[in-house]
Amino acid sequence: MREGVLEVGDRLPTQAELASEFEVERGTVRLALQILKDARLLDNVSKGSPPRVAALPSDEFQRPRATVVSLNEHLAQAFSSPHVTIDAICFTAETLMLGLNHMRSVIAKGVPRPESITMRCLLPGPRIELAFPLPVPRPDRTADEQQKLTASVQQKLRSQIKHQKTVMEQTFYAWREGDGIRATVSFGWLPTTPMQKSYVLNGERALLGDYVPKAYPPSDDPGGYEVEVYDVRGFDTTLFAFRSEDGPRDAELVKKKQEAFNAVWATYVERPTLA
């Protein structure tokens, strides 16, 4: 929308087409469309027909926005540089995966492409006990049943994280082999569940948003859970942006977030192990 690929009044592709293009479940598409509607970027969001692109509100660039809205904008600006760096701390990286897929489609349309794209992404480790999702306790459920349900829903999330990591690796492979871009991606595992998502782009801007847990009802979507769970949804996270060019306070915050990421990466990814 911001690059003018879709203009005001244009219809979006169908939910099925969007799910296929971005390799996600229909439930994820519906959630993204609702967030875009809440951000006043879409009109006519209904089951009857695909939504239309709305006119951007005058204060749109000044307001903190949901991640799915804000990240694409900042990625597009970052990708205008010849050398792109992305340092991310995520819970599942679903929104990041969608943002990279978006930039892949933008580059495929012939816009000037970067010479290099380098990404480092930190995710919760595959063997840690996750903070979320957690089944909401019920009086008729024993402690053993609660434990088994917790293991089941968390295994489903781990599979989702693994899938999204694979999709991002494929995106970088396509940039490298198909577009001739020097594209490299590395992943590291955190020993705990991150409670804040963080993106540092080109060392010049930091995007921060807190994961806020709440109860979600059972869902029959393939990517959902069959029981009520406490969970965090990255799409719902309000993202705050800080840019080095916006003054010394923001510049210092961006610098410190970059230093913090580098330190965590060096601690949990680059350190020698006994393996």
**Domain identity same for 140 and 41:** no
Rounded Cα gap, residues 3 and 77, in angstroms: 10
The torsion defined by the Cα of 90, 93, 98 and 103, in degrees rounded to 10, comes to: 60
Confidence check: pLDDT of 167 > 50: yes
- Among 29, 63, 97, the domain boundary falls at 63
Q: Please indicate, yes or no, whether residues 183 and 243 belong to a single structural domain of this protein.
A: yes
Residue found under tokens 């229909």: 26
Residues 54 and 106 in one domain: no
DSSP conformational letter for 11: B
Is residue 160 a contact partner of residue 97, using CB atoms and an 8 Å limit?
Answer: no
Regarding whether 80 and 104 lie in a shared domain, the answer is yes
Using the CB atoms, write b or e for 168-200: b if 16+ within 10 Å: beebbeebeeeeebebebebbebeebbeebbbb
Same domain, 166 and 100: yes
Determine the Cα–Cα distance for residues 40 and 38; give it in Å rounded to an integer. Answer: 5
Q: Which residues, at least 6 apart from 75, have a Cβ–Cβ distance to it below 8 Å?
A: 86, 99, 100, 102, 103, 201
Q: Is residue 140 part of a domain?
A: yes
Tens digit of each residue's pLDDT (9 = 90 or more) over 22-59: 767 776 777 677 666 655 667 666 656 677 777 655 44
Residue 130 and residue 77 share a domain: yes
Residue 38, strand partner residues: none
Q: Is 216 exposed, middle or buried (0-12, 13-18, 19+ CB in 10 A)?
A: middle
Q: Model confidence over 187-212: pLDDT tens digits? A: 999 999 999 999 999 999 999 999 99
Any domain includes 136: yes
Do 51 and 182 belong to one domain? no
Mark which of 63, 81, 115 sits at the end of a domain. 63
Domain span holding position 2: 1-63
Are 47 and 83 in the same domain? no
pLDDT for res 79: 96
**Do 49 and 97 fall into the same domain?**
no
Last residue of a domain, one of 47, 63, 79: 63
Whether residue 171 is found in the same domain as residue 187: yes
User: What confidence tens digit (pLDDT) does each residue in 220-240 have?
Assistant: 776 678 899 999 987 778 889
- pLDDT exceeds cutoff 60 at 78: yes
Distance between CA atoms of residues 263 and 140, nearest Å: 46
Structure-block tokens of residue 212: 């806020």
Q: Looking at residue 1, which CATH number applies to its domain?
A: 1.10.10.10
Distance CA(41)–CA(247), nearest Å, equals 29
* 126: CATH: 3.30.870
Total structural domains within the chain:
2
| Pairing, β 229-231 against β 134-135 | antiparallel
Residue 154's pLDDT is 94
Nearest to 69 by CA among 92, 35, 102: 35
Q: Read off the tokens for 259.
A: 């230093």
Domain-embedded: residue 274: no
* Residues 111 and 55 occupy one common structural domain: no
- Tell whether 163 is covered by a domain: yes
Determine the average pLDDT of the residues in 10-15.
78
Residue 216 within a domain: yes
* pLDDT reading at 274 higher than 50: no
Residues 162 and 28 in one domain: no
Residue 273, domain member (yes or no): no
